[in-house]
């Protein structure tokens, strides 16, 4: 998982931050990863409480950290751009600032999980500070001020300057803060393959022992009903000295584009590899 984080979102997180990503992977798996005990997470087994996932964000995303009044001058920026590399407790995030090459803890943050981290082929240039759009700070905090961020981002392809006149200020508007539940959805989209593989049972026994046992029972009942309606087989007596080919259940969780579960699928298949001539 840590390797996926480092190379996700079409970007690069320095390998020197591998320890941060390992800690993040362990943290995520502790509150989401199922165990052999009824497929419960390690956190649930240890504390007896279900962990909240609302604070999870996509590792490697750009973010804008609010700079308090006490630490900035009048004309300084109200936010500082960084990259999320980890978590600290339930209300804090570990942010890496590439310009300073420092990692600091913060909780008053606006995340931009839709912008891809550019590859090294992109050219970093200076952007006119006048072309900015204001967005609202995190709604969970009382000290709510507008955070100025660059509308086009800090990276773009080299383009010739086609305007020789003084640029006009753009219309300034307030961008709506992402829905508070969007974090869980984005997280699921990022790690859907890993988490889906962890939750999907491999055997009939695992299916009946999992938290989703009722869903798997319904899926198996639907499969048996379909096989019967299609007259998939005909009952026959085995010839003397012959054994029937065994079968097994194959389970799969089908997901929607946003990572949510669409339905549980179960298929009964024959173990054809056991046949002998």
Highest mean pLDDT among 67-76, 163-172, 263-272: 263-272
Could you read off the pLDDT of 15-54 as tens digits, one per residue?
A: 778 888 888 888 888 888 777 777 788 888 888 888 878 8
Instruction: Evaluate if pTM is beyond 0.85.
Output: no
Angle between helices 192-199 and 182-190 (to 10 degrees): 80
pLDDT confidence band for 152 (50 / 70 / 90)? very low
Distance of alpha carbon 250 from alpha carbon 200, whole angstroms: 10
> What is the chain's length?
277
- With a cut of 80, say whether residue 270 has pLDDT above it: yes
- With a cut of 90, say whether residue 218 has pLDDT above it: yes
Distance of alpha carbon 95 from alpha carbon 87, whole angstroms: 9
Query: What residue spans define the domains of the chain?
Result: 2-156+173-188, 200-232+243-274
Q: Mean pLDDT over residues 109-129, rounded?
A: 57
What are the angstrom distances between the C-alpha of 20 and each of 69, 158, 219? 29, 33, 40
Distance of alpha carbon 25 from alpha carbon 15, whole angstroms: 15
- With a cut of 70, say whether residue 111 has pLDDT above it: yes
């Amino acid at each position: 998982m840590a390797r996926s984080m480092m190379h996700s979102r079409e970007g690069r997180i320095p390998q020197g931050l591998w320890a941060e990503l390992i800690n993040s992977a362990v943290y995520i798996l502790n509150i989401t990863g199922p165990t052999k005990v009824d497929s419960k997470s390690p956190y649930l087994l240890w504390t007896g409480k279900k962990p909240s996932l609302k604070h999870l964000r996509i590792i490697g995303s750009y973010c804008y950290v609010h700079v308090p009044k006490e630490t900035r001058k009048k004309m300084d920026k109200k936010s500082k751009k960084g990259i999320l590399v980890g978590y600290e407790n339930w209300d804090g995030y570990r942010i890496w600032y590439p310009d300073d090459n420092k990692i600091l803890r913060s909780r008053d943050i606006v995340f931009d999980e839709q912008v891809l981290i550019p590859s090294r082929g992109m050219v970093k240039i200076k952007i006119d500070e006048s072309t900015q759009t204001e967005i609202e700070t995190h709604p969970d905090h009382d000290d709510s001020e507008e955070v100025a961020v660059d509308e086009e981002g800090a990276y773009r392809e080299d383009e010739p300057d086609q305007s020789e006149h003084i640029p006009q200020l753009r219309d300034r508007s307030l961008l709506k803060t992402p829905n508070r539940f969007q974090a869980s959805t984005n997280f699921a989209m990022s790690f859907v393959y890993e988490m889906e593989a962890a939750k999907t049972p491999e055997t009939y026994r695992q299916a009946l022992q999992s938290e989703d046992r009722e869903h798997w029972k319904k899926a198996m009942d639907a499969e048996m009903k379909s096989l019967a309606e299609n007259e998939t087989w005909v009952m026959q007596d085995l010839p003397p000295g012959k054994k029937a080919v065994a079968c097994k259940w194959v389970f799969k969780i089908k997901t929607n584009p946003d990572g949510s579960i669409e339905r549980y699928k179960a298929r009964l298949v024959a173990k054809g590899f056991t046949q002998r001539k």
